[in-house]
Chain A
Amino acid sequence: MTTVIGVSASAGEEPRRHLRAGLRLIVALGALVFVTGLFAAPDRVWSGFLMGFCFLTALALAGPVFLAFLTMAGARWSAVLERVPIAMASALPAAAALGLVLLFGTHNLYEWAHPAVVEHDALLQGKAAYLNVTGFALRLIVMFALWILCSRRLVALSTRFAESGSRAVAQSRLRWSAGFIAVVAVTFSVASNDWLMSLEPHWFSTMFPLLHFAGLAAAGLSAAVLLALLAEQRGALEPLRDEHLHDLGKLLFAMTLIWAYCWYCQYMLIWYTNIPEETTHYASRRVGAWWLLVQTAMVLKWGVPFVALMARRACRNRRVLARVAVTVLVGHALDLYVQVGPPVTGPEPVVGLWELGPLAGAVALFFLIATAALERSPTVAPTHPHLTESRSYHTP
């Protein structure tokens, strides 16, 4: 992440190559660490891989989700930066590939994937109809198939709408957007249950999927902000107006706030009722350094954007916006770590190459794919019906 921003401070052909080379290096190192780790420290490296996979999937899926919400809200201000969420969506196949790799790690990650454990655990036997390796794999494949199919369709419709501006296409784009959001609502719930909640298979919370959807929105929007600023600097995106930045900033402010709200509701209700089945989740995270990490994640993912983006001037400042976006992404990584860490590594947090390697590799892979897609894709068609309005977008 630091590489991305370090380079973004200067423009030109040279840093562009540096950025891409840097990202490639991180991806390669991540892959190397992962493969080595499979033999040296399989449990730890799989936990790093799960974090990276979840991070990459959230960022890639946030692209079409953002696009669909903009369409449903009838937004026109966003026409000049519509290519950013489209580019983000192009990382979905890579996420799917990582998902297929994850299927080989279920034994290292999930307690319910051990038949010997399940045999002596009545609760897990009850859940075996859902929590089993075949079901897990099938659900993962179906979910990615749906996401890739729908997002391809959405992107194609958006492009056609930009070229033709026809009402029929607008209609169809709207319908697909609404349908896609409905599909994501169900599938992403299943995904967060499967991939993260089932790390502690005895624990359950109805808020969990929503909390992760809010996390997806916050992290995805941060990535969109970063990609937009990067592309603008490199001339891959036309210059943005202050109003565009302001709107992105306000959205980021809102999404991080929603995430904090969901987090608080889940925590407060479990703390308040103090039911043993539920408190296990926080009991293992309120010990020692884990609790400090949880609080740090809260500060990074909510505190910093809340304070920094409250002022109008800050939202319109590229430097502030970029730094807040990076902070939120770091906070998201930390938040994933406090989800995945305790069940895998136990009461003391351990952060090392085995965790950071695959995580950084996956995130770098996302930015590598998305920046490449953004620079490859043609500029917004001049026939885009909202382009004039978006270019002269003005708010009082």
Chain B
Amino acid sequence: MSDTAHGPSAALAHTPHAEATADEGSSADPRLITAARTPGEVTRDVCEPLERGPTRLWYLCFAVSAAALLVGAVCVTYQVAVGIGTWGLNRTVGWAFDITNFVFWVGIGHAGTLISAVLLLMRQRWRTSINRSAEAMTLFAVMCAGLFPLIHMGRPWLAYWVFPYPNTRGPLWVNFRSPLLWDVFAIGTYFTISAVFWYIGMLPDLGTVRDRAKGLRKRVFAFLALRWDGSARTWSRWEMACLLLAALATPLVVSVHSVVSSDFATAVIPGWHTTIFPPYFVIGAVFSGFAMVLTLMIVARKVMSLQGYITERHIGAMCKVLVFTSSIVAMAYATELFVAWYSGSPYEQFAFANRLFGPAGWAYGIMVACNVLTPQLLWFRKVRRSIGTIFVISLLVNVGMWFERFVIIVTSLGRDFLPSSWTGYAPTLIELGTLLGSFGLFFTCFLLFCRYLPMIAMAEVRAVVAEQEHHGHDTAADADAALPESPTPPRASMRHCGVFAAPEGLLAAVRAARRRGLHVVDTYTPHPVHGLDAALGLRRSRLPFVTLACGAVGAALALWFQYWSSSSDWPLDVGGKPLDSFPAFVPVAFEVMVLLAGLGTAVALLWRSRLLPGGSTQKPAPAGATDDRFVVMLEHADASLSRADIEQLWVDQGAVDSWTEQRP
């Protein structure tokens, strides 16, 4: 491959990186990605398992998951046919297993967005090895979550009634003051934007798979990759779009679980209504989601032989997030208990005494043991290095967080204000089967994802690898602004391409060409190259304006519509709330804002970069440009320059290959 280009830099001591690993890394190898030194190796390691087909272990896992899914399908069919009476609900406990599972699954999804969005904004590079699969997890978890309210509707074929659409029942609109409706908007937006973010982020890797594939696979991936070409302009807009989607997804993920918590906190039931619920649910969701990511990653790195990509440092970093969020959850538990006592309200005090010492006190015990006590072991570095222990802790957190929701929901309802109506609750076999089925759905989807799509974000990992192999300040970059302008030559008929094995060679060639007044048409690279925009003199992408405009329109539209439908077209008194309930209109306005802003950004990216399926038959990217080759494409109208001169330029810059082609 490109060992010649990397030889000297790879031999350097990685001083700046060595310090970062002082805590987690084994002292032998300070690199974040230990399995690869070149972009080509990343491609090979991620793509080959996909092309080879699944292992026996995969088939085994798939069979188990599919069986669980089948059980779920049977249970769902039965309860839809017979009715919700098949559940263990009663007059007092009208909400139990289904909503517990709903909140549990929505929470699982939160780590994916946190890893892909929040850690991107915070420039935590370790996210690149796990963000793709964590985001996939988000989508599948939200699908599982959506299942439960859908079934609870009783008549799922009328589910579209939850959307505000003009109907034949007169001016009849959904109730925008209800947190259950906020859920519809929050979960809907969350699923849509997460899917868009995931897909946009996967485009470069789909391009890689396409360029390696043959036959039907090639046709399918050519369609999915939307003519991805890896050009500098596309990369520039793609990176901007990812940043913008991350900036939207970050408040979105906070809003989603805040809205979910409002399902409870807007009620007057002690144990449900407390003002800390929104942030407390959000952090609990991130906590449980990270536990699930850890569980899956520990298995997946072994099954897919990705230990060199998901290293002990990645696991260690996730452990730290886990112990941090666990401590915040502990703080929330403590605050709840203290304020319940401090409030002086006998109802509050009883709700918590009942939670601790009532008939379901064992569930509270499990919740505290799994969420607060065992994760504290992760303060010790020895524990953070023992994969087996981490696996057990992460499983316990999953259990504990499920019980947290169960405790909050069921113990608060079971013993309400009227002792004569106190009851307990136990799930029926149908409910347990549905829960099992949701796990089956989740793991089946995840296994299919591992089988058919690149599980590691190759492009982003290539950038990390390039950075760890070659670091230090790019001194030539400071002079980029002074490079001469090179307007498009009017009558050039030929294009000259030079191929390089490393981003440094590409950058040097681009600068050399521009210094000579040649016009660089574009470059094609397997990962975004740091500093290339400046070297090419590209203008900063204007996508942020699209995002802002779409977001503003979305917020304005949603606010207007809520006011109009709730206080003008269908003025209905709900729970004595004023018709123009601004505080209740904020969540939906926010969700619609994010939805339109995110979709607008994605559409603008695809449209500006001509990323559309089909189109002309011309191959989108030069050979190797989605794998391990860095291609520069030049044009010139200078008659005094011969083809040999250009060849000489390529040779001087250390090109590994070059060709000349007709301008299309």
In chain A, residues 256-281, which have Cβ atoms closer than 8 Å to a Cβ of chain B?
A: 257, 261-262, 264-275, 277-278
The stretch that binds A, out of B61-69, B300-308, B335-343, is: B335-343
Is there contact, CB below 8 Å, between A269 and B473?
no
Instruction: Take A73-B122, A269-B266 as given contacts and tell me if A210 and B279 are in contact as well, using a CB distance cutoff of 8 Å.
Output: yes
Q: How far is the CB of A176 from chain B (nearest CB, A)?
A: 13
In chain A, residues 130-182, which have Cβ atoms closer than 8 Å to a Cβ of chain B?
A: 130, 165, 167, 170-171, 174, 178, 182
Is there contact, CB below 8 Å, between B583 and A266?
no
Q: Which residues of B contact A310 (CB under 8 A)?
A: 548
Q: Which residues of A contact B254 (CB under 8 A)?
A: 261
Is there contact, CB below 8 Å, between B273 and A273?
yes
Q: Which residues of B contact A182 (CB under 8 A)?
A: 327
Nearest B residue to A193 via CB reads B342
In chain A, residues 290-306, which have Cβ atoms closer than 8 Å to a Cβ of chain B?
A: none
For the complex, is B558 an interface residue (Cβ under 8 Å from A)? no
Which of A72, A210, A388 has the most CB atoms of chain B within a 10 A radius of its CB?
A: A210
For the complex, is B275 an interface residue (Cβ under 8 Å from A)? yes
Per the CB 8 Å criterion, the residue count for chain B at the interface is: 50
Q: Which residues of B contact A278 (CB under 8 A)?
A: 275
Is there contact, CB below 8 Å, between B584 and A268?
yes
For the complex, is B16 an interface residue (Cβ under 8 Å from A)? yes
Is there contact, CB below 8 Å, between B267 and A273?
yes
In chain B, residues 269-311, which have Cβ atoms closer than 8 Å to a Cβ of chain A?
A: 273-280
Main secondary structure of the interface of A (DSSP, over half): helix
Q: Which residues of B contact A271 (CB under 8 A)?
A: 583
Task: Classify chain A: how many residues form its interface, as a range.
Answer: 35 or more
A-B contact count (CB 8 A): 111
For the complex, is A348 an interface residue (Cβ under 8 Å from B)? no
Instruction: Take A171-B23, A396-B530 as given contacts and tell me if A265 and B266 are in contact as well, using a CB distance cutoff of 8 Å.
Output: no
- Set A267, A395, A396: member contacting B583, Cβ < 8 A: A267
Instruction: Take A171-B22, A265-B279, A385-B19 as given contacts and tell me if A396 and B586 are in contact as well, using a CB distance cutoff of 8 Å.
Output: no
Q: Which residues of A contact B251 (CB under 8 A)?
A: 257, 261
Is there contact, CB below 8 Å, between A272 and B19?
no
For the complex, is B265 an interface residue (Cβ under 8 Å from A)? yes
Instruction: Take A182-B327, A210-B279 as given contacts and tell me if A268 and B342 are in contact as well, using a CB distance cutoff of 8 Å.
Output: no
Nearest B residue to A266 via CB reads B275
Question: CA–CA, A209 to B280, complex, Å?
Answer: 13
Is there contact, CB below 8 Å, between A272 and B266?
yes
Question: CA–CA, A95 to B566, complex, Å?
Answer: 50
Q: Which residues of B contact A170 (CB under 8 A)?
A: 19, 22-23
Q: How far is the CB of A388 from chain B (nearest CB, A)?
A: 8
Is there contact, CB below 8 Å, between A206 and B22?
no
Q: How far is the CB of B299 from chain A (nearest CB, A)?
A: 27
Which of A186, A269, A389 has the most CB atoms of chain B within a 10 A radius of its CB?
A: A269
For the complex, is A207 an interface residue (Cβ under 8 Å from B)? yes
Is there contact, CB below 8 Å, between A264 and B586?
yes
Nearest B residue to A204 via CB reads B343
Is there contact, CB below 8 Å, between A126 and B344?
yes
For the complex, is B268 an interface residue (Cβ under 8 Å from A)? yes
Q: Which residues of B contact A392 (CB under 8 A)?
A: 473
For the complex, is A351 an interface residue (Cβ under 8 Å from B)? no
For the complex, is B239 an interface residue (Cβ under 8 Å from A)? yes
Q: Which residues of B contact A209 (CB under 8 A)?
A: 335
- Set A174, A178, A205: member contacting B275, Cβ < 8 A: A205
Is there contact, CB below 8 Å, between A207 and B275?
yes
Is there contact, CB below 8 Å, between A185 and B331?
yes
For the complex, is A189 an interface residue (Cβ under 8 Å from B)? yes
Q: How far is the CB of B119 from chain A (nearest CB, A)?
A: 10
Instruction: Take A170-B22, A267-B583 as given contacts and tell me if A277 and B275 are in contact as well, using a CB distance cutoff of 8 Å.
Output: no
Q: Which residues of A contact B342 (CB under 8 A)?
A: 127, 130, 193, 204
List of 10 A-B pairs having minimum Cβ-Cβ separation, nearest first: A206-B276, A207-B275, A265-B278, A167-B22, A123-B344, A204-B343, A272-B266, A268-B583, A266-B275, A205-B275
Residues in chain B within 8 A of chain A (CB atoms): 16, 19-20, 22-23, 122-124, 239, 251, 254, 258, 262, 265-268, 273-280, 324, 327-328, 331-332, 334-336, 339, 342-345, 379, 473, 530-531, 533, 544, 548, 576-577, 583-584, 586
Residues in chain A within 8 A of chain B (CB atoms): 72-74, 123, 126-127, 130, 165, 167, 170-171, 174, 178, 182, 185-186, 189, 193, 202, 204-210, 257, 261-262, 264-275, 277-278, 310, 312, 385, 388-389, 392, 395-396
For this complex, 10 residue pairs linking A to B, each with C-beta atoms less than 8 Å apart, are: A167-B22, A185-B331, A189-B331, A206-B274, A206-B280, A209-B335, A261-B254, A269-B277, A273-B265, A396-B531
